[in-house]
Chains A and B, each alone.
Chain A
Protein backbone atom coordinates (compact mmCIF):
# COMPACT_ATOMS: atom_id res chain seq x y z
CA UNK A 1 0.00 0.00 0.00
CA UNK A 2 1.24 3.41 -0.96
CA UNK A 3 1.65 5.96 1.85
CA UNK A 4 0.20 9.39 1.30
CA UNK A 5 2.42 12.45 1.16
CA UNK A 6 2.56 14.36 4.40
CA UNK A 7 1.54 18.02 4.59
CA UNK A 8 5.18 19.01 4.87
CA UNK A 9 6.36 16.89 1.93
CA UNK A 10 3.48 18.05 -0.28
CA UNK A 11 4.00 21.74 0.45
CA UNK A 12 7.78 21.48 -0.09
CA UNK A 13 7.32 19.74 -3.42
CA UNK A 14 4.71 22.23 -4.67
CA UNK A 15 6.84 25.15 -3.55
CA UNK A 16 9.83 23.78 -5.49
CA UNK A 17 7.78 23.34 -8.68
CA UNK A 18 6.26 26.84 -8.45
CA UNK A 19 9.61 28.46 -7.67
CA UNK A 20 11.24 26.67 -10.63
CA UNK A 21 8.71 28.54 -12.73
CA UNK A 22 9.66 31.91 -11.19
CA UNK A 23 6.78 32.17 -8.75
CA UNK A 24 7.86 33.88 -5.49
CA UNK A 25 6.10 31.58 -3.03
CA UNK A 26 5.49 32.68 0.55
CA UNK A 27 3.99 30.32 3.10
CA UNK A 28 1.15 31.14 5.50
CA UNK A 29 -0.06 34.18 3.54
CA UNK A 30 -3.44 35.43 4.84
CA UNK A 31 -6.17 35.39 2.20
CA UNK A 32 -9.70 36.60 2.71
CA UNK A 33 -12.57 34.52 1.30
CA UNK A 34 -16.20 35.26 2.08
CA UNK A 35 -15.29 36.92 5.35
CA UNK A 36 -12.97 34.13 6.40
CA UNK A 37 -9.21 34.56 6.61
CA UNK A 38 -7.36 31.56 5.19
CA UNK A 39 -3.65 31.05 5.63
CA UNK A 40 -2.46 29.58 2.35
CA UNK A 41 0.29 26.96 2.11
CA UNK A 42 1.93 28.88 -0.75
CA UNK A 43 1.05 32.14 -2.46
CA UNK A 44 2.68 34.86 -4.56
CA UNK A 45 0.60 37.98 -3.77
CA UNK A 46 2.08 39.92 -6.68
CA UNK A 47 1.18 37.28 -9.33
CA UNK A 48 -1.90 36.12 -7.38
CA UNK A 49 -0.87 32.52 -7.92
CA UNK A 50 -0.34 29.80 -5.32
CA UNK A 51 -1.48 26.49 -3.92
CA UNK A 52 -3.20 24.83 -1.00
CA UNK A 53 -2.43 21.24 0.00
CA UNK A 54 -5.50 20.13 1.95
CA UNK A 55 -4.70 17.47 4.50
CA UNK A 56 -6.42 16.15 7.61
CA UNK A 57 -3.02 16.26 9.32
CA UNK A 58 -2.93 20.08 9.07
CA UNK A 59 -6.59 20.42 10.07
CA UNK A 60 -7.41 21.96 6.67
CA UNK A 61 -10.70 20.18 6.16
CA UNK A 62 -12.48 22.45 8.63
CA UNK A 63 -11.06 25.71 7.21
CA UNK A 64 -11.65 24.59 3.61
CA UNK A 65 -15.26 23.64 4.02
CA UNK A 66 -17.71 23.39 1.13
CA UNK A 67 -18.86 27.02 1.36
CA UNK A 68 -15.34 28.44 1.54
CA UNK A 69 -14.17 26.37 -1.42
CA UNK A 70 -17.20 27.44 -3.45
CA UNK A 71 -16.42 31.11 -2.68
CA UNK A 72 -12.76 30.53 -3.49
CA UNK A 73 -13.70 29.00 -6.84
CA UNK A 74 -15.87 32.00 -7.63
CA UNK A 75 -12.87 34.24 -7.02
CA UNK A 76 -10.84 32.10 -9.41
CA UNK A 77 -13.59 32.13 -12.04
CA UNK A 78 -13.49 35.94 -11.81
CA UNK A 79 -9.72 35.89 -12.18
CA UNK A 80 -8.96 37.38 -8.76
CA UNK A 81 -6.47 34.66 -7.88
CA UNK A 82 -5.38 31.17 -9.05
CA UNK A 83 -4.73 28.50 -6.47
CA UNK A 84 -3.99 24.87 -7.22
CA UNK A 85 -6.28 23.06 -4.77
CA UNK A 86 -4.82 19.70 -3.90
CA UNK A 87 -6.76 17.18 -1.83
CA UNK A 88 -4.36 14.65 -0.35
CA UNK A 89 -6.72 11.84 -1.41
CA UNK A 90 -6.20 12.75 -5.09
CA UNK A 91 -2.41 12.37 -4.88
CA UNK A 92 -1.00 8.91 -5.53
CA UNK A 93 2.67 9.91 -5.36
CA UNK A 94 5.16 12.81 -5.53
CA UNK A 95 5.63 12.50 -9.30
CA UNK A 96 1.87 12.90 -9.82
CA UNK A 97 1.82 16.02 -7.71
CA UNK A 98 4.81 17.55 -9.51
CA UNK A 99 3.21 16.80 -12.88
CA UNK A 100 -0.06 18.38 -11.78
CA UNK A 101 1.80 21.53 -10.61
CA UNK A 102 3.62 21.87 -13.94
CA UNK A 103 0.41 21.36 -15.93
CA UNK A 104 -1.40 23.92 -13.77
CA UNK A 105 1.31 26.51 -14.37
CA UNK A 106 1.27 25.70 -18.12
CA UNK A 107 -2.47 26.27 -18.11
CA UNK A 108 -2.01 29.66 -16.42
CA UNK A 109 0.55 30.56 -19.05
CA UNK A 110 -1.79 29.48 -21.83
CA UNK A 111 -4.46 31.69 -20.29
CA UNK A 112 -1.86 34.48 -20.08
CA UNK A 113 -2.21 34.76 -16.33
CA UNK A 114 1.53 34.14 -16.24
CA UNK A 115 3.89 35.65 -18.79
Chain B
Protein backbone atom coordinates (compact mmCIF):
# COMPACT_ATOMS: atom_id res chain seq x y z
CA UNK B 1 0.00 0.00 0.00
CA UNK B 2 1.15 3.53 -0.69
CA UNK B 3 0.02 6.92 0.51
CA UNK B 4 -0.36 10.03 -1.62
CA UNK B 5 0.16 13.76 -1.01
CA UNK B 6 -3.53 14.26 -0.06
CA UNK B 7 -3.10 11.60 2.66
CA UNK B 8 0.08 13.25 3.88
CA UNK B 9 -1.52 16.68 4.11
CA UNK B 10 -4.60 15.40 5.91
CA UNK B 11 -2.58 13.50 8.50
CA UNK B 12 -0.04 16.29 8.87
CA UNK B 13 -2.84 18.76 9.61
CA UNK B 14 -4.25 16.51 12.33
CA UNK B 15 -0.83 15.88 13.84
CA UNK B 16 0.04 19.59 13.78
CA UNK B 17 -3.18 20.36 15.67
CA UNK B 18 -2.28 17.78 18.32
CA UNK B 19 1.28 19.05 18.58
CA UNK B 20 0.12 22.63 18.97
CA UNK B 21 -2.28 21.61 21.71
CA UNK B 22 0.55 19.84 23.53
CA UNK B 23 2.77 22.90 23.04
CA UNK B 24 0.10 25.11 24.50
CA UNK B 25 -0.20 22.87 27.59
CA UNK B 26 3.59 22.94 28.01
CA UNK B 27 3.56 26.74 27.75
CA UNK B 28 0.94 26.82 30.49
CA UNK B 29 3.17 24.57 32.63
CA UNK B 30 6.03 26.97 32.08
CA UNK B 31 3.85 29.89 33.19
CA UNK B 32 2.64 27.92 36.21
CA UNK B 33 6.23 27.14 37.11
CA UNK B 34 7.10 30.83 37.25
CA UNK B 35 4.15 31.88 39.41
CA UNK B 36 4.37 28.90 41.74
CA UNK B 37 8.12 29.15 42.12
CA UNK B 38 7.79 32.83 43.05
CA UNK B 39 5.16 31.92 45.64
CA UNK B 40 7.28 29.13 47.15
CA UNK B 41 10.37 31.36 47.24
CA UNK B 42 8.34 33.96 49.11
CA UNK B 43 7.16 31.30 51.57
CA UNK B 44 10.72 30.04 51.95
CA UNK B 45 11.91 33.60 52.70
CA UNK B 46 9.15 33.96 55.29
CA UNK B 47 10.11 30.61 56.79
CA UNK B 48 13.75 31.71 57.00
CA UNK B 49 12.63 34.91 58.69
CA UNK B 50 10.45 32.97 61.13
CA UNK B 51 13.24 30.53 61.90
CA UNK B 52 16.01 33.07 62.41
CA UNK B 53 13.75 35.23 64.57
CA UNK B 54 12.97 32.21 66.71
CA UNK B 55 16.65 31.35 67.04
CA UNK B 56 17.69 34.94 67.62
CA UNK B 57 14.76 36.71 69.28
CA UNK B 58 16.69 39.89 70.16
CA UNK B 59 19.79 41.81 69.10
CA UNK B 60 21.67 41.40 72.34
CA UNK B 61 25.03 39.89 73.19
CA UNK B 62 23.26 37.22 75.25
CA UNK B 63 20.80 36.27 72.50
CA UNK B 64 23.61 36.10 69.93
CA UNK B 65 25.65 33.86 72.21
CA UNK B 66 22.69 31.54 72.80
CA UNK B 67 21.89 31.29 69.07
CA UNK B 68 25.56 30.61 68.31
CA UNK B 69 25.60 27.83 70.92
CA UNK B 70 22.36 26.21 69.76
CA UNK B 71 23.31 26.24 66.09
CA UNK B 72 26.98 25.49 66.56
CA UNK B 73 27.88 28.73 64.80
CA UNK B 74 30.61 30.60 66.72
CA UNK B 75 30.93 33.00 63.78
CA UNK B 76 27.75 34.67 64.95
CA UNK B 77 29.58 35.89 68.06
CA UNK B 78 32.94 36.35 66.38
CA UNK B 79 31.46 38.71 63.78
CA UNK B 80 30.69 41.05 66.67
CA UNK B 81 27.58 42.59 65.13
CA UNK B 82 26.88 44.71 68.25
CA UNK B 83 30.45 46.04 68.06
CA UNK B 84 30.05 46.86 64.38
CA UNK B 85 26.77 48.63 65.12
CA UNK B 86 28.46 50.60 67.88
CA UNK B 87 31.32 51.69 65.61
CA UNK B 88 28.91 52.83 62.93
CA UNK B 89 26.80 54.60 65.51
CA UNK B 90 29.80 56.60 66.74
CA UNK B 91 30.83 57.47 63.20
CA UNK B 92 27.32 58.59 62.21
CA UNK B 93 26.86 60.59 65.40
CA UNK B 94 30.16 62.40 64.82
CA UNK B 95 29.25 63.18 61.23
CA UNK B 96 25.82 64.45 62.25
CA UNK B 97 27.41 66.80 64.78
CA UNK B 98 29.88 67.97 62.16
CA UNK B 99 27.15 68.72 59.61
CA UNK B 100 24.94 70.42 62.17
CA UNK B 101 27.83 72.75 62.99
CA UNK B 102 28.66 73.45 59.34
CA UNK B 103 27.57 77.01 58.38
CA UNK B 104 26.34 75.68 55.04
CA UNK B 105 23.83 73.60 56.99
CA UNK B 106 23.38 75.79 60.07
CA UNK B 107 22.51 78.84 57.95
CA UNK B 108 20.46 76.86 55.47
CA UNK B 109 17.37 79.08 55.77
CA UNK B 110 19.40 82.25 55.46
CA UNK B 111 21.23 80.85 52.44
CA UNK B 112 18.73 78.71 50.60
CA UNK B 113 15.23 79.70 51.64
CA UNK B 114 13.24 79.51 48.36
CA UNK B 115 11.97 83.09 48.81
CA UNK B 116 14.53 85.14 50.73
CA UNK B 117 17.69 82.99 50.92
CA UNK B 118 20.78 85.02 50.05
CA UNK B 119 22.12 82.34 47.72
CA UNK B 120 18.69 81.79 46.19
CA UNK B 121 18.34 85.49 45.49
CA UNK B 122 21.89 85.92 44.18
CA UNK B 123 21.33 83.09 41.72
CA UNK B 124 17.96 84.48 40.67
CA UNK B 125 19.42 87.96 40.18
CA UNK B 126 22.34 86.71 38.13
CA UNK B 127 20.00 84.62 36.01
CA UNK B 128 17.86 87.69 35.46
CA UNK B 129 20.89 89.79 34.51
CA UNK B 130 22.26 87.27 32.08
CA UNK B 131 18.94 86.45 30.47
CA UNK B 132 18.85 89.25 27.82
CA UNK B 133 22.46 88.47 26.84
CA UNK B 134 21.77 84.77 26.66
CA UNK B 135 18.82 85.55 24.37
CA UNK B 136 21.12 87.46 21.97
CA UNK B 137 23.64 84.61 21.89
CA UNK B 138 20.88 82.07 21.39
CA UNK B 139 19.33 84.14 18.60
CA UNK B 140 22.67 84.30 16.78
CA UNK B 141 23.08 80.53 16.82
CA UNK B 142 23.81 79.49 13.22
CA UNK B 143 25.91 76.73 11.62
CA UNK B 144 28.05 79.37 9.82
CA UNK B 145 28.42 81.80 12.73
CA UNK B 146 31.87 80.57 13.73
CA UNK B 147 33.08 81.06 10.16
CA UNK B 148 31.56 84.58 9.95
CA UNK B 149 33.39 85.56 13.14
CA UNK B 150 36.63 84.05 11.87
CA UNK B 151 36.65 85.87 8.52
CA UNK B 152 35.38 89.13 10.08
CA UNK B 153 32.11 89.23 8.24
CA UNK B 154 30.38 92.59 8.89
CA UNK B 155 33.73 94.30 9.67
CA UNK B 156 36.39 96.09 7.61
CA UNK B 157 38.52 92.99 8.03
CA UNK B 158 36.26 90.95 5.73
CA UNK B 159 38.24 90.30 2.51
CA UNK B 160 36.53 87.46 0.66
CA UNK B 161 36.34 88.25 -3.07
CA UNK B 162 32.94 88.59 -4.69
CA UNK B 163 33.70 85.86 -7.25
CA UNK B 164 33.94 83.19 -4.57
CA UNK B 165 30.90 81.15 -3.62
CA UNK B 166 31.83 81.49 0.06
CA UNK B 167 31.23 85.25 -0.29
CA UNK B 168 27.59 84.55 -1.11
CA UNK B 169 27.26 81.81 1.51
CA UNK B 170 28.55 84.28 4.14
CA UNK B 171 26.14 86.92 2.87
CA UNK B 172 23.17 84.54 3.09
CA UNK B 173 24.10 83.34 6.60
CA UNK B 174 24.57 86.94 7.75
CA UNK B 175 21.15 87.85 6.36
CA UNK B 176 19.53 84.89 8.10
CA UNK B 177 20.94 85.98 11.46
CA UNK B 178 20.07 89.63 10.83
CA UNK B 179 16.44 88.71 10.09
CA UNK B 180 16.08 87.50 13.68
CA UNK B 181 16.78 91.01 14.95
CA UNK B 182 13.97 93.04 13.41
CA UNK B 183 15.22 96.40 14.72
CA UNK B 184 18.78 96.02 13.37
CA UNK B 185 19.78 97.37 9.98
CA UNK B 186 23.06 95.57 9.41
CA UNK B 187 24.95 92.51 10.50
CA UNK B 188 27.59 94.81 11.99
CA UNK B 189 25.05 96.02 14.56
CA UNK B 190 24.10 92.43 15.42
CA UNK B 191 27.76 91.54 15.69
CA UNK B 192 28.38 94.34 18.18
CA UNK B 193 25.50 93.13 20.36
CA UNK B 194 26.62 89.53 20.04
CA UNK B 195 30.20 90.24 21.09
CA UNK B 196 29.03 92.31 24.07
CA UNK B 197 26.63 89.51 25.10
CA UNK B 198 29.40 86.91 24.89
CA UNK B 199 31.74 89.08 27.01
CA UNK B 200 29.01 89.66 29.59
CA UNK B 201 28.17 85.98 29.84
CA UNK B 202 31.84 85.17 30.22
CA UNK B 203 31.78 87.36 33.33
CA UNK B 204 28.42 86.21 34.75
CA UNK B 205 28.49 82.51 34.05
CA UNK B 206 31.49 81.45 36.16
CA UNK B 207 30.00 83.41 39.09
CA UNK B 208 26.64 81.76 38.51
CA UNK B 209 28.24 78.35 38.30
CA UNK B 210 30.08 78.95 41.56
CA UNK B 211 26.85 80.06 43.32
CA UNK B 212 25.02 77.02 42.04
CA UNK B 213 27.83 74.74 43.21
CA UNK B 214 27.64 76.39 46.66
CA UNK B 215 23.87 75.87 46.69
CA UNK B 216 24.18 72.21 45.63
CA UNK B 217 26.84 71.53 48.24
CA UNK B 218 24.48 72.85 50.93
CA UNK B 219 21.60 70.74 49.63
CA UNK B 220 23.98 67.76 49.56
CA UNK B 221 24.81 68.32 53.22
CA UNK B 222 21.12 68.43 54.14
CA UNK B 223 20.59 65.16 52.28
CA UNK B 224 23.62 63.57 53.90
CA UNK B 225 22.34 64.65 57.31
CA UNK B 226 18.95 63.07 56.57
CA UNK B 227 20.61 59.85 55.43
CA UNK B 228 22.90 59.81 58.49
CA UNK B 229 19.99 60.29 60.88
CA UNK B 230 18.08 57.54 59.09
CA UNK B 231 21.19 55.34 59.29
CA UNK B 232 21.34 55.93 63.02
CA UNK B 233 17.64 55.25 63.47
CA UNK B 234 17.81 52.00 61.49
CA UNK B 235 21.11 50.88 62.98
CA UNK B 236 19.84 48.17 65.29
CA UNK B 237 17.29 46.66 62.86
CA UNK B 238 19.97 46.61 60.15
CA UNK B 239 22.59 44.81 62.22
CA UNK B 240 19.94 42.52 63.65
CA UNK B 241 18.99 41.70 60.04
CA UNK B 242 22.64 41.12 59.09
CA UNK B 243 23.06 38.74 62.03
CA UNK B 244 19.96 36.80 60.97
CA UNK B 245 21.22 36.63 57.38
CA UNK B 246 24.54 35.23 58.62
CA UNK B 247 22.59 32.71 60.70
CA UNK B 248 20.42 31.71 57.73
CA UNK B 249 23.54 31.29 55.54
CA UNK B 250 25.06 29.06 58.18
CA UNK B 251 21.91 26.92 58.45
CA UNK B 252 21.64 26.61 54.65
CA UNK B 253 25.22 25.37 54.44
CA UNK B 254 24.69 22.67 57.05
CA UNK B 255 24.05 19.08 55.99
CA UNK B 256 20.50 17.93 56.72
CA UNK B 257 21.51 15.53 59.46
CA UNK B 258 23.67 18.13 61.22
CA UNK B 259 20.70 20.43 61.25
CA UNK B 260 18.76 17.81 63.19
CA UNK B 261 21.62 17.51 65.67
CA UNK B 262 22.01 21.19 66.36
CA UNK B 263 18.29 21.67 66.79
CA UNK B 264 17.86 18.77 69.17
CA UNK B 265 18.26 21.34 71.98
CA UNK B 266 15.27 23.30 70.78
CA UNK B 267 12.47 20.87 69.87
CA UNK B 268 10.07 23.80 69.43
CA UNK B 269 11.93 24.71 66.25
CA UNK B 270 11.57 21.33 64.62
CA UNK B 271 8.54 22.23 62.52
CA UNK B 272 9.82 25.65 61.36
CA UNK B 273 13.10 24.02 60.30
CA UNK B 274 11.32 21.21 58.44
CA UNK B 275 9.08 23.71 56.70
CA UNK B 276 12.08 25.74 55.67
CA UNK B 277 13.90 22.64 54.39
CA UNK B 278 10.79 21.36 52.61
CA UNK B 279 10.17 24.65 50.84
CA UNK B 280 13.78 24.71 49.74
CA UNK B 281 13.38 21.26 48.20
CA UNK B 282 10.08 22.21 46.57
CA UNK B 283 11.76 25.15 44.81
CA UNK B 284 14.66 23.02 43.65
CA UNK B 285 12.43 20.19 42.43
CA UNK B 286 10.18 22.62 40.56
CA UNK B 287 13.27 24.01 38.82
CA UNK B 288 14.37 20.49 37.90
CA UNK B 289 10.94 19.68 36.45
CA UNK B 290 11.10 22.81 34.31
CA UNK B 291 14.72 22.39 33.20
CA UNK B 292 14.76 18.62 32.73
CA UNK B 293 11.20 17.91 31.62
CA UNK B 294 9.21 20.92 30.41
CA UNK B 295 12.01 22.52 28.37
CA UNK B 296 13.15 19.31 26.60
CA UNK B 297 9.51 18.47 25.83
CA UNK B 298 8.99 21.94 24.35
CA UNK B 299 12.09 21.49 22.20
CA UNK B 300 10.91 18.08 20.95
CA UNK B 301 7.46 19.38 20.07
CA UNK B 302 8.82 22.52 18.41
CA UNK B 303 11.24 20.43 16.34
CA UNK B 304 8.45 18.17 15.09
CA UNK B 305 6.18 21.14 14.33
CA UNK B 306 8.93 22.79 12.28
CA UNK B 307 9.62 19.60 10.34
CA UNK B 308 5.94 18.98 9.62
CA UNK B 309 5.34 22.58 8.53
CA UNK B 310 8.35 22.39 6.22
CA UNK B 311 7.22 19.11 4.66
CA UNK B 312 3.65 20.35 4.38
CA UNK B 313 4.88 23.33 2.39
CA UNK B 314 7.09 21.11 0.27
CA UNK B 315 4.19 18.84 -0.75
CA UNK B 316 2.00 21.81 -1.66
CA UNK B 317 4.30 22.57 -4.61
CA UNK B 318 2.94 21.42 -7.98
CA UNK B 319 6.14 19.51 -8.79
CA UNK B 320 5.54 17.29 -5.74
CA UNK B 321 1.85 16.69 -6.44
CA UNK B 322 2.51 13.15 -7.58
CA UNK B 323 4.75 12.13 -4.69
CA UNK B 324 3.98 8.84 -2.97
CA UNK B 325 4.97 7.57 0.50
CA UNK B 326 5.95 4.08 1.58
CA UNK B 327 3.30 2.69 3.90
CA UNK B 328 5.85 1.65 6.53
CA UNK B 329 7.42 5.15 6.84
CA UNK B 330 4.10 6.91 6.61
CA UNK B 331 2.40 4.85 9.30
CA UNK B 332 5.39 5.10 11.60
CA UNK B 333 5.41 8.88 11.25
CA UNK B 334 1.68 9.28 11.87
CA UNK B 335 1.26 6.45 14.36
CA UNK B 336 -1.59 7.46 16.79
CA UNK B 337 0.43 5.84 19.58
CA UNK B 338 2.94 8.67 19.26
CA UNK B 339 0.22 11.21 19.99
CA UNK B 340 -0.92 9.22 23.00
CA UNK B 341 2.64 8.96 24.27
CA UNK B 342 3.09 12.73 23.98
CA UNK B 343 -0.20 13.38 25.81
CA UNK B 344 0.89 11.07 28.64
CA UNK B 345 4.29 12.75 28.80
CA UNK B 346 2.73 16.20 29.17
CA UNK B 347 0.20 14.92 31.71
CA UNK B 348 2.95 13.31 33.80
CA UNK B 349 4.93 16.54 33.85
CA UNK B 350 1.80 18.37 35.01
CA UNK B 351 1.16 15.80 37.72
CA UNK B 352 4.73 16.00 39.04
CA UNK B 353 4.62 19.80 39.00
CA UNK B 354 1.28 19.91 40.79
CA UNK B 355 2.32 17.33 43.41
CA UNK B 356 5.57 19.07 44.28
CA UNK B 357 3.87 22.46 44.49
CA UNK B 358 0.89 21.33 46.58
CA UNK B 359 2.89 19.58 49.32
CA UNK B 360 2.37 21.04 52.79
CA UNK B 361 3.03 18.24 55.30
CA UNK B 362 6.40 19.53 56.36
CA UNK B 363 5.96 17.87 59.76
CA UNK B 364 6.63 14.52 58.07
CA UNK B 365 10.12 15.56 57.03
CA UNK B 366 13.18 14.20 58.72
CA UNK B 367 16.73 15.24 59.45
CA UNK B 368 18.14 11.73 59.15
CA UNK B 369 20.96 11.17 56.70
CA UNK B 370 19.75 10.02 53.27
CA UNK B 371 16.21 11.21 53.85
CA UNK B 372 14.83 11.89 50.37
CA UNK B 373 12.41 14.80 50.27
CA UNK B 374 11.30 13.83 46.75
CA UNK B 375 9.73 10.65 48.03
CA UNK B 376 7.99 12.51 50.83
CA UNK B 377 6.71 15.23 48.50
CA UNK B 378 5.39 12.77 45.92
CA UNK B 379 4.39 10.08 48.40
CA UNK B 380 6.84 7.83 46.54
CA UNK B 381 4.49 7.64 43.58
CA UNK B 382 6.32 9.64 40.96
CA UNK B 383 9.63 8.60 39.51
CA UNK B 384 12.11 11.38 40.09
CA UNK B 385 15.16 9.71 38.63
CA UNK B 386 15.41 12.46 36.05
CA UNK B 387 16.72 14.60 38.94
CA UNK B 388 20.39 13.74 39.65
CA UNK B 389 19.95 14.01 43.46
CA UNK B 390 17.02 11.56 43.40
CA UNK B 391 18.76 9.14 41.04
CA UNK B 392 21.91 9.12 43.15
CA UNK B 393 19.81 8.32 46.20
CA UNK B 394 17.96 5.49 44.46
CA UNK B 395 21.19 4.07 43.03
CA UNK B 396 22.69 4.07 46.49
CA UNK B 397 19.63 2.30 47.92
CA UNK B 398 18.54 -0.13 45.18
CA UNK B 399 16.24 -2.22 47.33
CA UNK B 400 14.70 0.61 49.30
CA UNK B 401 11.07 1.46 48.97
CA UNK B 402 9.39 4.54 50.29
CA UNK B 403 7.18 3.79 53.24
CA UNK B 404 4.97 6.54 54.42
CA UNK B 405 4.80 7.11 58.13
CA UNK B 406 1.26 7.31 59.47
CA UNK B 407 0.18 9.88 61.93
CA UNK B 408 -2.93 9.74 64.00
CA UNK B 409 -5.94 11.57 62.74
CA UNK B 410 -4.91 11.39 59.10
CA UNK B 411 -7.18 8.73 57.69
CA UNK B 412 -6.79 9.79 54.10
CA UNK B 413 -3.04 9.61 54.48
CA UNK B 414 -3.43 6.13 55.92
CA UNK B 415 -5.42 5.08 52.88
CA UNK B 416 -2.80 6.54 50.56
CA UNK B 417 -0.08 4.77 52.49
CA UNK B 418 -1.79 1.43 52.19
CA UNK B 419 -2.35 1.85 48.49
CA UNK B 420 1.25 2.83 47.88
CA UNK B 421 2.77 0.17 50.06
CA UNK B 422 2.65 -2.44 47.36
CA UNK B 423 4.07 -0.29 44.62
CA UNK B 424 7.58 -1.19 43.62
CA UNK B 425 9.85 1.29 41.89
CA UNK B 426 9.50 -0.69 38.70
CA UNK B 427 5.81 0.03 38.67
CA UNK B 428 6.17 3.79 39.13
CA UNK B 429 4.95 6.26 36.58
CA UNK B 430 7.69 7.16 34.22
CA UNK B 431 7.86 10.94 34.48
CA UNK B 432 10.66 11.38 31.98
Contacts and interface: CB of A to CB of B under 8 A. Distances in A.
A90 B169 CA distance: 7
A82 B169 contact: no
A104 B165 CA distance: 9
B164 A96 contact: no
Closest 8 pairs between A and B when the two form their complex, measured CB to CB? A100-B168, A86-B165, A90-B165, A90-B166, A90-B169, A107-B162, A85-B164, A103-B168
B172 interface: yes
Interface residues of B, number: 10
Contacts of A73: 161, 163
A82 B162 CA distance: 10
Interface in B214-272: none
Interface in A53-85: 73, 76, 82-85
B325 interface: no
Given A73-B163, A84-B163, A90-B165, 15 more contacts: A73-B161, A76-B161, A82-B163, A83-B163, A85-B163, A85-B164, A87-B164, A91-B169, A92-B169, A96-B168, A96-B172, A100-B165, A100-B169, A103-B171, A104-B168
A34 interface: no
A71 to B, nearest CB: 14
24 contacts: A73-B161, A76-B163, A82-B163, A83-B163, A84-B163, A84-B165, A85-B163, A86-B165, A87-B164, A87-B166, A90-B165, A90-B166, A91-B165, A92-B169, A96-B168, A96-B169, A96-B172, A99-B168, A100-B165, A100-B168, A100-B169, A100-B172, A104-B163, A104-B168
Interface in B144-200: 161-166, 168-169, 171-172
The SS class assigned to the B binding surface is helix
B30 to A, nearest CB: 47
A88 B418 CA distance: 96
Interface of A: 73, 76, 82-87, 90-92, 96-97, 99-100, 103-104, 107
Nearest to B171: A103
A97 B172 CA distance: 11
A87 B168 contact: no
B166 A99 contact: no
Nearest to B144: A92
Contacts of A92: 169
A73 B166 CA distance: 14
A82 B164 CA distance: 10
Contacts of A103: 168, 171
Contacts of B172: 96, 99-100
Nearest to A77: B161
A69 to B, nearest CB: 9
Contacts of B168: 96, 99-100, 103-104
Contacts of B162: 104, 107
B175 to A, nearest CB: 10
A92 B161 CA distance: 19
Nearest to B164: A85
A85 B167 CA distance: 10
A73 B169 CA distance: 19
Nearest to A88: B165
A76 B164 CA distance: 11
Contacts of A82: 163
B204 to A, nearest CB: 34
Contacts of A86: 165
A109 B235 CA distance: 88
A44 B59 CA distance: 101
Contacts of A107: 162
Nearest to B143: A92
Nearest to B170: A90
Q: Which of B162, B163, B166, B171 has the most chain A CB within a 10 Å cutoff?
A: B163
Contacts of A83: 163
A96 to B, nearest CB: 6
A107 B161 CA distance: 11
Contacts of A104: 162-163, 168
B167 to A, nearest CB: 8
Nearest to A54: B165
A83 B161 CA distance: 11
A89 B164 CA distance: 12
Contacts of A96: 168-169, 172
Q: Which of B161, B162, B165 has the most chain A CB within a 10 Å cutoff?
A: B165
Contacts of A91: 165, 169
A84 B169 CA distance: 13
Nearest to B162: A107
A100 B168 CA distance: 5
